[in-house]
Structure 1
């Protein structure tokens, strides 16, 4: 059961930590640990930031996909 939950979150992750790690040239594990530790200290604010960043990245991906399909015509 627990393994299924972990697999689900790994497949459905938004790529926020990966994007930030590539952008700032830091390892992904350090970014993930930062989110975990800061969410304990800041009482959930990093979780709100993570969700907002995920939405922004998803919208950017969707816009790029539409833009590419328009110019392919």
Structure 2
């Protein structure tokens, strides 16, 4: 049961922890734990940052796709 929950969140997550892990060369697990622990301590502020970063990464990938399609014409 626990493995199914972990697989669900890894499959449908926004990729923020993956992006930060690759950018700073830190384990994704450590970044996820940081977000979880800090959200308990800071009463949800890191979750706001996480969703904002997910929104920015989504917009960024969308703009890259449009830019590539524009230059293919």
Query: TM-score of the superposition, structure 2-length normalised?
Result: 0.89
CA RMSD of aligned residues (A): 1.4
Greater than 2 Å deviation, 4+ residue runs: 5-11
The match for 1:49 is 49
Tell me how many residue pairs correspond in the alignment.
72
Shift of 1:18: 0.4
Query: TM-score of the superposition, structure 1-length normalised?
Result: 0.89
Aligned-partner Cα distance in 2 for 1:30–1:9: 16
Change (3 A) 1:43 1:53: same
Structure 2, unaligned stretches of length 5 or more? none
